[in-house]
Amino acid sequence: VKKVSIGILGATSYTGIELVRRLHSHPHADIAFASSQSYAGQKLSGVFPEVLGMWDGELVSPEQSAKQAGHVDCVFSCLPHAVSAQLCLPFIDKGVKVVDLSADFRIRDAAVYAAWYGAAHPRPALLSQAVFGLVEHYRTQIRTAQIVANPGCYPTSILLPLLPLVKAGVVDTRTIIADSKSGVSGAGRTLKLSSHFVEANENLSAYSVGHAHRHIPEIEQELSGAAGRAVTITFTPHLVPLNRGIFSTIYFAGPPAKQCEEIARAAYGSEPFVRVRASTDLPKIGFVAGTNYCDIAFAGGENGAPVIALCAIDNLLKGASGQAIQNMNVVFGFDETAGLS
Amino acid sequence: VKKVSIGILGATSYTGIELVRRLHSHPHADIAFASSQSYAGQKLSGVFPEVLGMWDGELVSPEQSAKQAGHVDCVFSCLPHAVSAQLCLPFIDKGVKVVDLSADFRIRDAAVYAAWYGAAHPRPALLSQAVFGLVEHYRTQIRTAQIVANPGCYPTSILLPLLPLVKAGVVDTRTIIADSKSGVSGAGRTLKLSSHFVEANENLSAYSVGHAHRHIPEIEQELSGAAGRAVTITFTPHLVPLNRGIFSTIYFAGPPAKQCEEIARAAYGSEPFVRVRASTDLPKIGFVAGTNYCDIAFAGGENGAPVIALCAIDNLLKGASGQAIQNMNVVFGFDETAGLS
Amino acid sequence: VKKVSIGILGATSYTGIELVRRLHSHPHADIAFASSQSYAGQKLSGVFPEVLGMWDGELVSPEQSAKQAGHVDCVFSCLPHAVSAQLCLPFIDKGVKVVDLSADFRIRDAAVYAAWYGAAHPRPALLSQAVFGLVEHYRTQIRTAQIVANPGCYPTSILLPLLPLVKAGVVDTRTIIADSKSGVSGAGRTLKLSSHFVEANENLSAYSVGHAHRHIPEIEQELSGAAGRAVTITFTPHLVPLNRGIFSTIYFAGPPAKQCEEIARAAYGSEPFVRVRASTDLPKIGFVAGTNYCDIAFAGGENGAPVIALCAIDNLLKGASGQAIQNMNVVFGFDETAGLS
Amino acid sequence: VKKVSIGILGATSYTGIELVRRLHSHPHADIAFASSQSYAGQKLSGVFPEVLGMWDGELVSPEQSAKQAGHVDCVFSCLPHAVSAQLCLPFIDKGVKVVDLSADFRIRDAAVYAAWYGAAHPRPALLSQAVFGLVEHYRTQIRTAQIVANPGCYPTSILLPLLPLVKAGVVDTRTIIADSKSGVSGAGRTLKLSSHFVEANENLSAYSVGHAHRHIPEIEQELSGAAGRAVTITFTPHLVPLNRGIFSTIYFAGPPAKQCEEIARAAYGSEPFVRVRASTDLPKIGFVAGTNYCDIAFAGGENGAPVIALCAIDNLLKGASGQAIQNMNVVFGFDETAGLS
C-alpha cells in the first residue's frame, strides 16, 4: 500500500498532537505538513517537547498551509469551529480528502448551525455532502466521502449506546437525559481559570447546564434521524479532575437492560472498537483511556424504572483523533485499526 | 458553658479522625476517649501522625469503651452498620446522648432495615425514638433527642435540595433521578482495589447502579414522608478521583428553576450551612471542600424540560462528621456553628 | 481584647483568599477592606464564590485602598514584589503595622535585592527596619516591628530544619543541597501553561535549576547570618501535581541524624507550630496540608554519609498566609495560635 | 520473521499487564501463556477488563506454567524477587530465553544479593551468566544472553545519566546523591495503606531514606564497575501522586553541565530510546509517560557547584516492561523498537 500524504491544520492542540503521535506509528501515512497560527516557524518539538524524535518538522502558518493543497492526499483539521471550514476550503476545492474535527460539517441544517455557533456557514452547500463520521453507523457513506465530519466527544459517548436502541424503536425518545463527565483535556489547551490546575484539581462542577451545550444539535440531529421524529434531550456536562476520558450516564424509558444489551451486541458484535459489556462488568474510564475503544453497558429498565446506559471513551481518541484516524482508514480502504492498536 | 465530655467509637476511620480534628478546636467539647478495634493500645498519633499535638490519647478497645458509659455526656459512633447499634447500646442505656454516623438508626421500619442491611436490628424499639439528623428539617426534634441518626453522605446531598420542593408539592415524585459523584474518601479507609491509587486515579466509574445502593431506603423514607406518598427514585453513584466531596445532579419534572430557587431560599434563608446559589453561580465541590456548607442551585424546568438540581457538599463534613457536630451543637444548645467555621 | 482592623492588599490571590478565610474565624481581627487591581468594584464572593457567607465585602482598587491608611491597624500585602513595597508605603508612613508576603522587605542588602529582582527598591532605608518574619527565630524582634517580611515558602521549609543546626555549628555549610517539591498553588493564580491542569497533572518537572530561583538570596542571607560566614547553596525546586504543600529534602555534611534531631528538639520543643518527628515517623505533605505546622525529621549522617533533613509545610499556610497571621499575632500580643488551629 | 512464542509469569501485576498490552501489538510475538498465583483459572480480562479484545486467554497456575517450558521461546517474569528465580529455573533448564523483571539476576555477588534480599539465591551459579539488561550499555552481551536481568526502575533513571560520565572519568564518585520521585504504580498492585487513594493523593513523602532501598546494590554495582573502584551513593526515593513515571535529580561534583551534555550525546546519539535534552529544554515526566524514552539533561557544574543531572522515564516502560521488550528485541535480533513506538 502506498502511503498517503497528510496535512494537519491546527497541530498545536491536544487533538493535533494526538494525531501526530498516532500517525507517527501508522503504517500507511506520512505527515507532509502541520500548521499553527501561534507557533508558525517553530519546530513542533519546541512546542511539544514530547514529540522529539517522532516528527520534528517546522510548523507552517495557515496561509502557507493552503499552498500545500495540491501536495497532500488527506487533511485533518483541528481548528476551532467557523475557522475550520474556511481554512479547509482550499483543500476541498483541490479534491483533497478532509476529516474535520471541528463542528463545521456536522450539522446538516445551515440555520441550526448558525443558531448554535453564532455565525453563518462559509459554504452551506457542502453541508449535505459531508458525512457524519460515526464509523459504526455511517461506514458505507464514509468510504466514498470527501468530507468527513468527525463527531464531537460527548456526542460519540451518547450516540453509540443510544443509536441501536432508537433504531430498534425501544426508546421513549421524549425521556432522554444524558449526564456526562469529562476530563479536562476536553476543554482544550487554551488557558482559562476553570482549567487552571489548582481550580480543577480536587474539584468537580457542571457547566452549560440544561439545553445549552453546543454538542446538543448534533446529538439531536442523529437521534431524530434514527427515530424518524424530532428528539429533544436533556444534557448536563461535568468537568472532572482527570486528563483524558468521558463517562456518560444516560437515562431513558425503555426495556429491561438485558434486552438493550442484546440489541447493542447485535449492532456492534463485529466492531473492532466497540465493546459491549455485561451489567456485571461495567465500563470505566480507566479501561478505555489511551485507546480507541468505546465501552458500553446497560442497567435498570425493570418494572418501569428508567434504563441506565453507561458509556466510556477516551475523549482525545474515540472522541476525537482516534476516531478521525479510523475515518481516514475507512476513506482510504486501510485496515480500520491501523495506527490505533 | 461547661464543656461536654465526648467519646468517639471507631476513631481510626476518616470520619473519626475528622471528628477528632474538629472537636480539638471546638470551644465546648473535650475528648474523653476514642476507641478502635484494630489499633487499641496505640496512641492515635501513631495511626494518624497528623494529629500529633492535637489529641494524643491512647486508643481503647470497644470493650473498654463500654466501661466509659457513665463518664461521658455524648458519644459519636463511626462504626460500621450493625456493629454500631450494638456498641452504642451501653451508652444509650446510661442516658448518654448518641450521634450515630452509621445507618443503624436512620431507617424507622425495622423490616426495611433488615432487607437492605442484611441483619435484624439489635433493638428495633429504639428506631422510633431516634431522630433523623438532617438539622435543617428536624432541628426541633433533635433538641430533645437522645439518639440522632446522622444522615448518609449521598442522602444529605439529595434531600437538602429536594425536601423543600417536595414539601411544597411542586415535584412530580415519580420522576426523580439522582446522578451522584463522590470522592474516594467516601469509600472509607479499608483497603480495596477500587480505592487503590493507581486504579482510582485518572479513572471514573459507576457502581451500585440502578436501585442497589444502601443509601436508597433513607432517601426514599424521607421523600415519602415529605410527599405523603411512597416515592421511588433512580440513583446512580459514581466514584471520581478526588479525596473529598460529593456532587449530586438531580433530575425531576417540576416548575421552572427560578421558582425552585425561591422555594429553597425561603426554606434555607436563615440556615448557617446551606447556601442557595443563583443559576449563574453554580455549586462546585471546590467551594465546599473542607467546610460544612451545602451549596444548592437549580436549572431547567422550562417548557416541560426536567428541572436540574445541583448540590455539592464535603462528604466527610456536611455529609458526615461536620453534620454530626452540628447535631451535637443542637442537642446541647451550643451555637450551631461552634467548631465548624 | 479589642479587635484589630485589617486591610488586605491583593486579596484575589491564593494567599489573599487564605487570609480572608482564616481572619474570618480569627477571634481578634476584623477585615476592614480588601483590594484588587483586576476585580475592584466586585464583591469578593463574585471572584471566589467559596467565601459567600464569610466576608462578602466589595473589593477596592489599590488607589482607594491607600485612603484607608488612617483607618486600619494592620495591613497584609499579597501583591507581587516591587509593586508590594510601593503600595505599602502609604500605610507605613501612617504607622500601620505591615506584614508583607512579597519578597520586598526580606533582603537586607538593597544591591542584592536589585540584582535578584531586577528593580531598585523604592525605599531602601526601610530594609534595615523590617524584620524577617520567621517567628521561631525572630520572635523578640517581631514583637516590636512595624514591618514584618513574611518569609518565602521554600525558604521556610529549608531554614526551619537548618537554622538550629547551623547555629549549633554542626553543618558543613559548603555542602548544602536542597531538593524541594512544591504543589501548584505555589505558582499562583495567574494563568500559564505549566499550571494548566492537563500539563501539570500526571507530570513532574524541575525548574529554575542550579542557582537561579529568587528564593535563594533570602535562604543564603539567613544561613550566612547564622553561620557567621557567607553560605552558598544548591537549590532545585520541582513542580508536583497536588494543590498545596512543599516537601524539602536537604542534604549536607553533618553529624548523625540522632544528634540533629536532638538539636532541633531543643530549639523547637516549645514551639506550637514546629513538630520534630523521629526518623521512624517521617514528615509527609498530607500531615501538614491545611495546617500551620512545619514537620521536620532527620536521617543519615552515619560514617561520613550526608545528613538528610526532611521538611513538610503547607505552602499557603506556614509558607505564606498562616505564617503571616502568626506574625500578626506576635505583633499584637495575641495567642500565637489564634485563627490558626 | 517467524513469531516467537512468549510466556508471562506473574501476568496480573502492573508490569505483567503492560507486557500483555505491548506484546499484543508486537509484530513478532505471540503470547502462549500467562500465569498468576491468585487468579489461575480465570480469564485475564476478568481480572483486567481493559484487555478485553486484546488477549483473552485463561491464566494458568505457576505449576502449570512450568509444563510449558518446552513450548515457548521466551519467558518474561514479573514475579517478586526470590520467587522469580525459582520459577524461572524450569525454563532456564530447557534453554528458554528469560527476561526477569525481578531483582533475582541483577546482583552478581550472591552474598550481596542475600544481604539485601534476605534470602540465599536458589542457583548462585547463574548470577555470572545473567546479563544486566541496560541495553544501551550491554547490548553486545545481551545479544547472546540466555538470562537477561531487567534493571530496576530507579536504577535505570540513575544509571543512564551517570554511566557515560563515570566511564569518562569526570564524576567524583564519592559525592553522588540521587533524589528520586516515583509515581504510585511503582509500588505495585498489592493493597497497602500508602497506596490507598486518599492517602497517596494530595500527598508526598520520602521512604527508605538514607542507604536503605533495595535498588541501591545494583546501582552501586554498575557504578563501581564503570568507575573501577567501589562507589557508595546516597539515595532518597519519594512517592508522588501520579500513576506513572520516575524523575531523578542527581547531584555530584563534576564538570560544567555543557561538558556532561556532550559526553551524554556522544554516548547516546544513535540510541532510539535515550533523548539527551539541552539545559533549556529539561525533562518532564509528562514527556515520557506512556513511552519507552529516557530523557536526560544537565545543569550546574560551574565554579565548583555540583552538577545536577535530571532524568525522566516511565517506570512501567523504560523502567520495566518496555525495557524488557527492548531486551527481547535485542536477544532475538528484531528491530529494537518493535512493539514500543
> D188 — alpha (psi -120 to 50), left (phi > 0) or beta?
left
- ipTM for the predicted complex comes to 0.97
C-alpha closest to that of B79 among B15, B134, B138, B144:
B15
C308: cell is 538528610
Length of chain C: 341
Which residue in this structure is represented by grid cell 433523623?
A: B132
Q: Which of B190, B197, B239, B316 is best to mutate for the D interface (most D CBs within 10 A)?
A: B197
Cβ-defined contact of D195 to B196 (cutoff 8 Å): yes
Cβ-defined contact of B197 to D195 (cutoff 8 Å): yes
Residues of B with CB under 8 A from a CB of A: 177, 179, 181, 199, 201-207, 209-211, 232, 234, 236, 238, 240-245, 247, 249, 251, 279, 282-286, 289, 299-300, 305-306, 308, 310, 312
C40 alpha carbon, distance to own chain's centre: 26
Crossing angle of helices B135-143/B153-167, nearest 10°? 90
> How do residues B271-299 score in pLDDT, each as one tens digit?
999 999 999 999 999 999 999 999 999 99
Q: C176 with C223: CB under 8 angstroms?
A: yes
Residue in D with minimal Cα distance to B196: D196
Longest dimension (CA), chain D: 63
C-alpha closest to that of C36 among C21, C16, C56:
C16
Cβ-defined contact of C285 to D202 (cutoff 8 Å): yes
Question: Given pLDDT bands bounded at 50, 70 and 90, which one contains residue C48?
Answer: very high
User: A157-187: buried (b, 16+ CB within 10 Å) or exposed (e) per residue?
Assistant: bbbbbbbbbbbbebbebebbbbbbbbbbbbb
Q: Which of A74, A78, A88, A153 is catalytic?
A: A153
D195 CB neighbours in chain B (<8 A) are: 196-198
Question: Given pLDDT bands bounded at 50, 70 and 90, which one contains residue B210?
Answer: confident
Half-sphere exposure of C102 (CA within 13 A, CB side): 23
Cβ-defined contact of A282 to B207 (cutoff 8 Å): yes
**Ranges in chain D, pLDDT < 50:** none
- Cα separation of A138 and A159, whole Å? 12
The share of chain B scoring above pLDDT 70, in percent, equals: 100
Question: Which pLDDT value is given to residue C307?
Answer: 98
Cβ-defined contact of C203 to D305 (cutoff 8 Å): no
Q: How far is CA C67 from CA C64, C85, C89, in A?
A: 5, 16, 12
B203 CB neighbours in chain A (<8 A) are: 242, 245, 284-286, 289
- Cα separation of C277 and C273, whole Å? 13
Question: Which pLDDT value is given to residue D1?
Answer: 59
Cβ-defined contact of D293 to A53 (cutoff 8 Å): yes
Query: Helix or strand or coil: residue D276?
Result: strand
Q: Cα torsion at A9, A10, A13, A16 (round to 10°)?
A: 10
Cβ-defined contact of B243 to D192 (cutoff 8 Å): no
- Cα separation of B64 and A126, whole Å? 80
Residue in B with minimal Cα distance to D186: B198
Q: Which secondary structure element, helix H or strand E, spans residue B254, and what is its range?
A: none
> B256 — alpha (psi -120 to 50), left (phi > 0) or beta?
beta
Question: Which pLDDT value is given to residue D63?
Answer: 87
Per-residue pLDDT of chain A (341 residues; tens, 9 = 90+): 579 999 999 999 999 999 999 999 999 999 999 999 999 999 999 999 999 989 989 999 988 999 999 999 999 999 999 899 999 999 999 999 999 999 999 999 999 999 999 999 999 999 999 999 999 999 999 999 999 999 999 999 999 999 999 999 999 999 999 999 999 999 999 999 999 999 999 999 999 998 999 999 999 999 999 999 999 999 999 999 999 999 999 999 999 999 999 999 999 999 999 999 999 999 999 999 999 999 999 999 999 999 999 999 999 999 999 999 999 999 999 999 999 98
- Cα separation of A155 and A153, whole Å? 6
Question: Which pLDDT value is given to residue D166?
Answer: 98
C153 belongs to the catalytic site: yes
How distant is the Cα of C83 from the closest Cα of chain B, in angstroms?
A: 30
> Hey, what amino acid is at C313?
I
D209 CB neighbours in chain C (<8 A) are: 279, 282, 299-300, 308, 310
Instruction: Tell me which DSSP letter residue C204 carries.
Output: -
Q: Is the pLDDT of residue B177 over 70?
A: yes
Cβ-defined contact of D242 to B14 (cutoff 8 Å): no
Cβ-defined contact of A50 to D25 (cutoff 8 Å): no
In the predicted model, what is the mean pLDDT of residues B198-225? 97
Which positions of B are annotated as active-site residues?
A: 153
Q: Phi then psi for D41, rounded to 5 degrees?
A: 95, -20
Question: Given pLDDT bands bounded at 50, 70 and 90, which one contains residue C73?
Answer: very high
- Cα separation of A81 and A83, whole Å? 5
| Cα angle: A217, vertex A219, A223; to 5 degrees | 115
Q: Which secondary structure element, helix H or strand E, spans residue D166, and what is its range?
A: helix D153-167
C-alpha closest to that of D196 among B197, C83, C139:
B197
Cβ-defined contact of D196 to B189 (cutoff 8 Å): yes
Residue D169 CB-density burial (10 A; 0-12 exposed, 13-18 middle, 19+ buried) = exposed
Question: Which pLDDT value is given to residue C1?
Answer: 59
Residue in A with minimal Cα distance to B199: A286
Q: C191 with A193: CB under 8 angstroms?
A: yes
Question: Which pLDDT value is given to residue B1?
Answer: 59
Instruction: Tell me which DSSP letter residue B340 carries.
Output: -
How distant is the Cα of B239 from the closest Cα of chain D, in angstroms?
A: 12
Residue in B with minimal Cα distance to D47: B193
A286 CB neighbours in chain D (<8 A) are: 50
Of D52, D275, D341, nearest to A52 by CB-CB distance is D275
How distant is the Cα of D192 from the closest Cα of chain C, in angstroms?
A: 17
Strand order in the sheet with D74-77: D29-34, D4-9, D74-77, D97-100, D147-149, D131-132
A304 CB neighbours in chain B (<8 A) are: none
Cβ-defined contact of D281 to A49 (cutoff 8 Å): yes
Q: Which of A55, A279, A287, A294 is best to mutate for the D interface (most D CBs within 10 A)?
A: A287
Q: Which of D174, D180, D185, D202 is best to mutate for the C interface (most C CBs within 10 A)?
A: D202
D84: cell is 522469580
Of A14, A193, A202, nearest to C191 by CB-CB distance is A193
Of B49, B272, B290, nearest to C287 by CB-CB distance is B49
Q: Which of D287, D296, D335, D337 is best to mutate for the A interface (most A CBs within 10 A)?
A: D287
A101 alpha carbon, distance to own chain's centre: 7
C-alpha closest to that of B169 among B227, B130, B121, B216:
B227
Question: Which pLDDT value is given to residue C2?
Answer: 79
Strand ranges (E), chain B: 4-9, 29-34, 74-77, 97-100, 131-132, 147-149, 172-182, 205-206, 234-239, 246-253, 274-276, 294-300, 307-313
C291: cell is 495546617
> How do residues C10-20 score in pLDDT, each as one tens digit?
999 999 999 99
Cβ-defined contact of B243 to D201 (cutoff 8 Å): yes
C272 CB neighbours in chain B (<8 A) are: 53
Instruction: Tell me which DSSP letter residue C317 carries.
Output: I
Of C49, C288, C293, nearest to B287 by CB-CB distance is C49
Q: Phi then psi for B226, rounded to 5 degrees?
A: -70, -35
Q: In this complex, which chains have at least 3 CB pairs below 8 Å with chain A?
A: B, C, D
D290 CB neighbours in chain A (<8 A) are: 290
Neighbouring residues of C198: CB distance < 8 A, sequence distance ≥ 6: A14, A184, A185, A189, A195, A243
Q: C130 with C145: CB under 8 angstroms?
A: yes
Q: C308 with C300: CB under 8 angstroms?
A: yes
Q: Which of C153, C260, C294, C311 is catalytic?
A: C153
Cβ-defined contact of C290 to B288 (cutoff 8 Å): no
In the predicted model, what is the mean pLDDT of residues B120-140? 97
DSSP sequence for D56-123: -PBPB-HHHHHGGGGG-SEEEE-PPTTHHHHHHHHHHHTT-EEEE-SSTTT-S-HHHHHHHHSS--S-
Of C25, C281, C290, nearest to B290 by CB-CB distance is C290
Q: Identify the bridge partners of residue B205 per DSSP, sorted by sequence position.
A: A284, B239
DSSP H helices in C94-243: 110-117, 135-143, 153-167, 197-200, 216-227
Cβ-defined contact of D196 to B195 (cutoff 8 Å): yes
Q: A259 with D22: CB under 8 angstroms?
A: no
A284 CB neighbours in chain D (<8 A) are: 49
Q: A36 with A103: CB under 8 angstroms?
A: no
Strand order in the sheet with A205-206: A205-206, A234-239, A172-182, A246-253, A307-313, A294-300, A274-276
Q: Which of C18, C26, C45, C52 is best to mutate for the B interface (most B CBs within 10 A)?
A: C52
